[in-house]
Chain A
């Protein structure tokens, strides 16, 4: 039964005891069956099969369109979005290689081996710095640095000789 709410609007009492304006109750009365029906339709096998087919066709059409545009732009020696994309993917590939190299470096046990993977922030890294007497002391770290610089020197020399 509709009642008058505290703010004067026509309202009805909902299950949880709060008053619902009449206009809202009317909207809900229309919306609920529509929502129920649309959700059921959306979950139906027919809809999902149809949607999958439409999405596949749309994707294929986009691909063909892009290929065609790429051909025409290429004829006039103009770059397209696909060219930029290719460059971006190449950069991403390089970044992945750098990550893999970093991982290999971390996994290779050495005198300066850091058991916690990943760059800790300065404050944490400071706390984790090995003590002077530990095997991972400054001398070990220095020896690793010198080894790395020796390796880079050697690779530079070999490149020069080539």
Chain B
């Protein structure tokens, strides 16, 4: 039953005090997990589950420009929690904020060093022989490059979530770096990194009236505890950008934005090139119709560029973040993604020995 007008005002006052005093601490990233591998800023987490019934494990590669708790935002709004509940063995390759020592990291550093290391550690940890690789946003670019350049990698399925392909359609953020405007070095600081503030300002510029609208939304829904918790968590993540390695950013500007390499299906990579046509494993491209960061027309071409015979796409009625953490995510996007992954997986057959320190063991169960 909806609270009365007086009750709402009281709740508004009470919640307003904690909100404007900054005392709201949403329980973000609470799904139990274990750190199973680490190299420099790359960390591989395995999410605990009592019902691992599907193989191969899912390895999520997170974006380099944001923090990964968006995929595990709140206990009742968690992408990784949902996937784990579907019987999937979920791993996440997360990136700690880049430090000056990471300034020279190129796309090759991530694709040739960190990702294969994480894949190998996933196999060791799960006892599986293959993985389902899922890339979120820029993590999808890394996943595509790995799948295209490393046929030796045991990738059974490839999934990209809101991954940009046609950078000419990316709007303000990429248009600022076309020939004649800003060069990559114009935003790289003395440490060799693109500061988090630059990325934050870029994202904020996409919707100039958003700060005002957000405050109006807060006032309207201040009485609603659940809404407020979700808003604070989401808002915290949206402003929680991390520095981007300068060398990788130069490549992004040169090869992806100016060269639009992904749209042409060929990206200069190392001494050679990465060809999307060389991706032959089952592939799923997920993008969103109301995405303002990676508009659908920027993500859509991927399906036609990969060489996979078994390739699908899902276009959802949500925004960039709504795909993984929105109100409809639990009912619409997550089930469809999980369904595709499960349909391209098998029942887990081998059980690994359990761990004495409270970690879960993979259970043998037919689906």
**Are A and B a genuine interacting pair, yes or no?**
yes
Task: Return the CB mask of A18-36 against B: 1 if under 8 Å, else 0.
Answer: 0001001001000100110
Contacting pair B209 A38 (CB below 8 A): yes
Q: In the bound complex, what is the Cα–Cα distance between A55 and B197 (angstroms)?
A: 14
Asked if B366 is an interface residue, CB under 8 A from chain A, the answer is no
Residues in A with CB closer than 8 Å to B357 are 123
Other-chain residue from B100, B124, B182 in contact with A120 (beta carbon distance below 8 A): B124
Please give the distance in Å from A124's CB to the nearest CB on chain B: 6
Contact call B191/A85, Cβ cutoff below 8 A: yes
Task: State in angstroms the CA–CA spacing of A60 and B191 once bound together.
Answer: 17
- Complex interface: chain B residues within 8 A of A124 (CB): 36-37, 121, 124-125
Which residues 69-101 of B have a CB within 8 angstroms of A? 99-101
Contact A7/B2 with A85-B190, A92-B191, A124-B124 known, Cβ cut-off 8 Å: yes
A6 to B36, CA, bound (A): 52
Contact A117 B175 (CB under 8 A): no
A9 within 8 A of B: yes
Pair A48/B121 contact, Cβ less than 8 Å: no
Assembly CA distance A38 to B252 (angstroms): 27
A121 touches B182 (CB 8 A): no
Are B209 and A8 in touch, CB under 8 angstroms? no
Contact flags (1/0) for B162-182 with A, using CB distance below 8 Å?
Answer: 000000000110011000011
Does B307 sit within 8 A of A, measured CB to CB? no
- CB atoms of A99 and B40 under 8 A apart: yes
How would residues 35 to 56 of chain A score, 1 for a CB under 8 Å from any chain B CB and 0 otherwise?
1001100110000110110011
**Nearest chain B CB to A96 CB, angstrom units:** 6
The dominant DSSP class at the A interface is: helix
Pairwise interchain contact A55-B182, C-beta atoms closer than 8 A: yes
Q: Mark B199-210, 1 if CB is under 8 A from A, else 0.
A: 000000111110
Tell me the bound Cα distance from A27 to B355 in angstroms.
57
Q: Are B190 and A82 interface neighbours, CB within 8 A?
A: yes
CA distance A34 to B124 in the complex (A): 55
Chain A residues in 8 Å Cβ range of B206? 39, 42
C-alpha spacing A96/B113, complex, angstroms: 14
Whether A116 is near chain B, meaning CB under 8 Å from some CB there, is yes
The number of residue pairs between A and B whose CB atoms lie closer than 8 Å in the complex comes to 111
Contact B5 A9 (CB under 8 A): yes
Instruction: Find residues 193-228 in chain B having any chain A CB closer than 8 Å to their own CB.
Output: 205-209, 212-213, 216, 220
Question: Which residues B4-57 have CB closer than 8 A to chain A?
Answer: 4-5, 8, 35-40, 42
Q: Are B36 and A117 in contact (CB under 8 A)?
A: no
- Is B209's CB under 8 angstroms from A48's CB? no
Establish whether residues B39 and A6, one from each chain, have CB atoms under 8 Å apart when the complex forms. no
Q: Please tell me if A154 contacts chain B, counting CB pairs below 8 Å.
A: no
B103 contacts partner chain A, Cβ-Cβ < 8 Å: yes
Do residues B35 and A121 form an inter-chain contact, with CB atoms below 8 A? yes
Measured CA separation A6–B4 after assembly (Å):
8
**Shortest distance in angstroms between A6's beta carbon and chain B's nearest beta carbon?**
5
The verdict on B3 contacting chain A, using a C-beta distance below 8 Å, is yes
Q: Let me know if B101 and A92 touch, CB within 8 A.
A: yes
Pair A27/B216 contact, Cβ less than 8 Å: yes
B310 within 8 A of A: no
Q: Is the CB–CB distance between B212 and A99 below 8 Å?
A: no
Interface membership of A150, Cβ < 8 A:
no
Cβ of B209: which chain A residues have Cβ within 8 Å of it?
31, 34-35, 38
Q: Are B355 and A123 in contact (CB under 8 A)?
A: yes
- Interface positions of B (Cβ within 8 A of A): 2-5, 8, 35-40, 42, 99-101, 103-104, 113, 116-117, 120-121, 124-125, 171-172, 175-176, 181-182, 186-187, 190-192, 205-209, 212-213, 216, 220, 355, 357, 359
